A and B are shown apart, each in its own frame.
Chain A
């Protein structure tokens, strides 16, 4: 690891700290689990067209979970010397928790193969980040727009999950992230890409950001009415991530906070559409084991429009007499495991969806204000255009889109051919029939 000249934790190799916690934890609690993460990242940031900042960060953290008589406690620290205090805090927290049905942490499993999340060619060094900024800028020069800012980041992380039942899994993960923001007059454009591999295309990301800024200039107003709308993978991921994904969580279902509760076996979205979480395909969330060591598998949440399962972690599954679906995720070493998704795929009939006239929106403003329980939303469109014959036509200056996420998935009129990875989702652009658009 030549890039890092200062040893931060001189006397602490993570393995011996984890072993000590498992040993001591087994004395104090029925079961103990340690989630450890260590990582480094560099990034270089553009201020307009020049590099303004270079960042290097190194993180080290561990989370401890203890279970005693069905009482679950959790704590975390980034000080290796504080592990005893952290273990005590987990046990103290557990004493306050309501005891629940619990049948043990998972035992070690055997895994065949691996998932693609590590690229040995990713170097956590500032020069390759600087080089990506150059390419972002050359791409952005394709269209008449000014660069406002941009960023290129490279990272590497090691994770270990260990428990008192004998699980000791580790993995290495790399990350590459780029973004560029451009403006033309008062029309803005933003593009980004993230991958575990050095397969991102900075030139194209820069070019797309400048394209959206330049192409959106001189937009016209639109009258309030009903129109067909095409949402880009970015726009769609925001609505689905805020409304559909939480509704598929077993915890929300049993807690009475999911619109989909009690609807297994019913048609809940368009009958040509399927939604699954595929942790073994290539994506940002790919993993063989979940955040509590349960082997992961493909989950077909919705098949041909019919709801077929929800996502569970151990805690929710034990409590409600269900089986874990290997859906535990953690935000980092500090977070408790919660129910989440890895790579959500939307499948359905593919085709040329921009032949007939429709409004295309590249992004949304305010998608997080959608009602997460009912799915109702009204959001402002960003980089919206009339499209026809597969081409961008006139830009639309400003318009709001209103509807309901669940109901909208019942009027899908086709999926585009190309998938794009956006966070924990892999989505194509999607065309929706007759949406309510509020103009100026």
Chain B
């Protein structure tokens, strides 16, 4: 039989718990169980990859048979895969302030119910609260004998409020997810905030599309960093030729006040103690003072492309590791928020986000703000709703002319190749000159 030159197994088992409260009714609550592993093997040329459900019950003989199966499978591959050496090591998982497993499902339900109830204010027609909690036990083993094990729990909630006046409806949402333990206590203000904003949006006008100066709040600017540069810096896209920043290491692609970082080591929602190939995680400066300085890599893309840092491989349970972002942010600058608004002069302040998307090969991205305010002579004016921005990666990064010093991180999930991983994005307030704003208003 052919001998593998490399193999690894990443086994993830655990429980997921959810509570769903809809207009005060506990729609569903409960816990489910999962157990799955991914085996990757290199023998001849490229990867043979098996996904094995209920791996925990496998014997050693089963595993050897799986390796043989993966080798056979990989005979159709043609790509000569080389893995770069990369430092190994594991960080401790931050201890939760309050372990969600120590709190009963009943108590969590009551806590979520009070956040959801706080959103029922006059003008609100519908409220919904959702809690999720996932405990993952991860075990990694590769053919060189490297072995890692850790447990991580992620939890969080969202609250949605829909306001109605006659035929007019508007919605607003607040959410918070964390790796640092139960976050349901004393969060009623977030329910109220979602509700008050939904009601206020009933009187907001749709934004008028066109080119204008835009101030982005930390949440939206974080999504901007994620969409406008994060994806394009992923080593697999660079390797396969679908990133507009391929071959641009060392080039100035943005304003010199701009530094953009991906850092899996910080205790935010995208934290990883070790990457999905057993490589030590590291802070990576994608852009440093406007200059493209590193791509995000796994071992294979580092070997193929160079110019960057391995340790950015991530995988959801049951899927193979691919290059991903973790905690991505624009570093603080030296302006105050007031200076950013003054610098804007006449334009728009955009807040909150319903997400975004990028075509990294074309270099075009789109992202959406939940709401915003018109800015006139540096002063905030009327509220507007449903504002999107689009831009070109290679032009827009030069248009960031001011960064404030008030960076905040926001949590979300990022989808790529059918895998949705927890991430956080963040930024200080930034000023984007001549942004292309799309809105349905005339």
Contact = CB atoms under 8 A, between A and B. Distances in A.
B53 interface: yes
B171 A371 contact: yes
B34 A55 contact: no
Contacts of B162: 256-257, 373
Interface string B29-49: 111111110000000001111
A51 B390 contact: no
Contact of B22 (A50, A61, A73, A255): A255
Interface in B53-92: 53-54, 56-58, 62, 65-66, 68-70, 73-79, 81
Contact of B440 (A61, A368, A376): A376
Interface in A357-400: 365-366, 368-369, 371-374, 376-380, 382, 398, 400
Interface size class of A (residues with CB under 8 A): 35 or more
Given A48-B240, A59-B53, A440-B436, A366 B77 contact: no
A117 interface: no
A79 B33 contact: yes
Given A60-B54, A74-B28, A148 B242 contact: yes
Interface stretch (B140-148, B353-361, B403-411): B353-361
Contacts of B105: 92-93, 96
A380 B390 contact: yes
A78 B36 contact: yes
Contacts of B171: 257, 371-374
B53 A256 contact: no
Q: Which residue, of B33, B109, B364, has the highest number of chain A Cβ atoms within 10 A?
A: B33
Interface string B212-249: 00000000000000000000000000011110100000
B425 interface: no
A432 to B, nearest CB: 13
A46 B47 CA distance: 11
Nearest to A85: B33
B56 A79 contact: yes
Given A259-B169, A398-B364, A54 B30 contact: no
A8 B54 CA distance: 8
B234 to A, nearest CB: 13
A3 to B, nearest CB: 10
Contact of B23 (A76, A255, A371, A374): A255
Given A72-B28, A186-B244, A369-B388, A5 B69 contact: yes
B386 A89 contact: no
A16 interface: no
A74 B362 CA distance: 44
A371 B436 contact: no
A93 to B, nearest CB: 2
B135 interface: no
B125 interface: yes
A378 B388 contact: yes
A61 B34 CA distance: 9
A7 to B, nearest CB: 9
Interface in B125-153: 125-126, 128
A328 to B, nearest CB: 14
B364 A365 contact: yes
Nearest to B56: A79
B209 A438 contact: yes
Contacts of B73: 42, 54-56, 126
Contacts of B354: 368-369, 371
Contacts of A251: 22
A121 interface: no
B297 interface: no
A106 interface: no
Contact of B35 (A52, A57, A78, A438): A78
B51 interface: yes
B372 interface: no
B32 A334 contact: yes
Contact of B164 (A44, A93, A188, A256): A256
A9 B242 CA distance: 41
B26 A400 contact: no
Interface string A191-207: 00000000000000000
A356 interface: no
A377 B355 CA distance: 12
A374 B171 CA distance: 8
Nearest to A47: B79
A352 interface: no
Contacts of B356: 366, 369
Given A52-B46, A73-B30, A188 B53 contact: no
Contacts of A440: 211, 436
Nearest to A127: B76
Interface string B347-370: 000000011111101111111100
A148 B54 contact: no
A404 interface: yes
Interface of A: 5-6, 8-9, 42, 44, 47-48, 50-61, 63, 72-82, 85-86, 89-90, 92-94, 96-98, 100, 126-127, 129-130, 146, 148-149, 181, 183, 186-188, 224, 251, 255-257, 259, 334, 336, 365-366, 368-369, 371-374, 376-380, 382, 398, 400-404, 436, 438, 440
Q: Which 3 A-B pairs have the closest CB atoms?
A: A93-B30, A256-B126, A378-B438
Given A59-B53, A78-B36, 10 more contacts: A53-B77, A54-B49, A56-B73, A57-B318, A76-B34, A78-B53, A256-B164, A336-B28, A373-B171, A402-B440
